[in-house]
Amino acid sequence: MSPRRAPSQPPVLPGYEHRRLLGSGGFADVFLYEQVLPSRPVAVKVLLTEAVDRDVVEHFRQEANVMAQLSSHPSIVTIYGAAVSDDGRPYLVMEYCPRPNLGVRYRSDRFSVSEVLALGVQIAGAVETAHRAGVLHRDIKPANILVTAYNRPALTDFGIATTTGEADVAAGMSIPWSPPEAFAEPAWSGRESDVFSLGSTLYTLLAGRSPFELPGGSNTSLDVISRIERGEVAPLARSDVPASLEALLRSSMETDPRRRFSSAQALGRALQQVEAEMSLSVTQMDVLDDSLPVDAVDDEDGGATRIRGVVEIDPHVDDPPRLATSAPAPPPPTYAAAMVSEATVLRPSQQPAAAPGPPIPRPGELPVAADPESPWGAASAQAQATRRKRSRTPLVAAIAAGVVLVAVVGIGIVVSIGADPQATQPSSTPTIAPPDATAPSPPIAMAGAAEGDQVRFTWTNPSAQDGDEFAIRSEPSDGDPIIQTIQEAEILLPADPDGRTCVSVAVQRANGLQSTYREVCLDG
């Protein structure tokens, strides 16, 4: 881990009086100032002098513009202004959140199930809002969820490590909460990547540790990356956590993005359903959508989800930076593998490839197995496993050799995902909702278990409604395809003689709408 540095000197800012240091990161320091008029405490994030160059200043400007578009959301930290100090350092003036962030709290406090559900719904609304605005966060973790004076969670860390050129110089990640695609070669991000990180963050609050840390075991960065790639989530070991909640959190952390919730909103709605099952008050999920008129309010699920039109802060804001596929990587310094760091780290970019990298899924889309351009498609399970094992080699070498740790305090990492308003309509509806006209969410928590010469497959309907059934497809190697509709969330199939038994399942609504199919296989 990089040694601690001394904090920079706080700049003299007209209209603000310095109070104290709040925190230090790899690129910036965050200070508490008192704004003179109107009088209020504010957090001011100031870039380090050595970090200031043309690209970084441009990234900082992009960050301010992105935050200006998103910070009206009640669960996203508000930005008040941005400028350059007299000594040439760019700074952001942000809402001061005085309570300990969730990264501090989970190490000492035991979170109740009801609190985790409520803040999960609220942050899911913030993430969905960012996605609809064309922005991926890519560094969701407990430390990046601050707590306001009114005890409301507020997502922070948008933009500081994002570049605007044709290639990313470095992509940021916090290893314990990063999805497996973050360690691929080349790395890629989609909406499902943020779903993974949000799910792992909620799991952390319940478990008191990140999902892929093994209590009492070795938890170096290499160990944790290996478990993430294999999907080895450590047991939660809390009797007060409903099985449905643990199942949906595990589903959000599936190694295959196609098996996760298709959107942050779908995850938030599943959390609302657990609240309803536990007879808790259902937390409202606020989503801002710039495809709606500014004064439009669309209450869904009987008011459980409220979608509003986004108020544009600056109509001339440039588009947020888009994810590039490659860039030359600087040689990493030496490093001795240690316990996994929770800080954001810089991932050296890959050398330019002959073919374009995998596309980022647009809002509302999932990588499709039949799509040869999908990073998870057109390959057998064995080929995918081989590719994942091979693809993390450069990253593992970089971590073992010394990836620079960047504990960015304040506002972090975003990429544009080309939002399509028509593609971001809700994909699931919980039981508390009235009948809708949208397709249901696909099954989650799919599993198979051998029973003699048969295999029993089970799954969970994440948005169950009366009249739901399940469409089943299976293609055994020695017989005719099995196509049927059943009512129970399980099926018993003959074990396939080739040693791999698979079934695809879709949720089918009474009104005729059907989810996408999801497949589960058992080797044996």
Instruction: Give catalytic status of residue 138 as yes or no.
Output: yes
Question: Any residues with CB less than 8 A from the CB of 3 and at least 6 apart, and which?
Answer: none
What is the spatial distance between Cα 133 and Cα 363, in angstroms, rounded to a whole number? 10
Calculate the alpha carbon distances from 165 to 156, 162, 470 in Å.
24, 10, 47
Helix (H, G, I), strand (E, B), or coil: what is residue 27?
coil
Are 263 and 195 within 8 A, CB to CB? yes
Are 50 and 89 within 8 A, CB to CB? no
Q: Beginning with the edge strand found earlier in the chain, give each strand of the sheet holding 305-309 in spatial order.
A: 285-289, 305-309, 297-300
Question: Any residues with CB less than 8 A from the CB of 398 and at least 6 apart, and which?
Answer: 329, 332, 347, 348
Cα maximum dimension of the chain: 78
Query: What type of residue sits at position 62?
Result: Q
Nearest to 356 by CA among 167, 134, 138: 167
Are 182 and 255 within 8 A, CB to CB? no
Q: What is the four-CA torsion angle of 498, 504, 505, 508, rounded to 10 degrees?
A: -130
How many CB atoms lie under 10 A from the CB of residue 437? 9
Q: Which helix (H) or strand (E) holds 58?
A: helix 54-70
Catalytic residue among 54, 105, 107, 138: 138
141 is in an annotated binding site: no
Are 417 and 191 within 8 A, CB to CB? yes
What is the spatial distance between Cα 253 and Cα 204, in angstroms, rounded to a whole number? 12
What does 355-406 look like in DSSP terms, one character per residue?
Answer: S--PPPPPTT----TT-TTSTTSSS-HHHHHHHHHHHTHHHHHHHHH-PPB-
Are 159 and 315 within 8 A, CB to CB? no
What is the spatial distance between Cα 158 and Cα 137, in angstroms, rounded to a whole number? 6
Catalytic center residues = 138
What residues are designated binding site for ATP?
45
What residues are designated binding site?
45
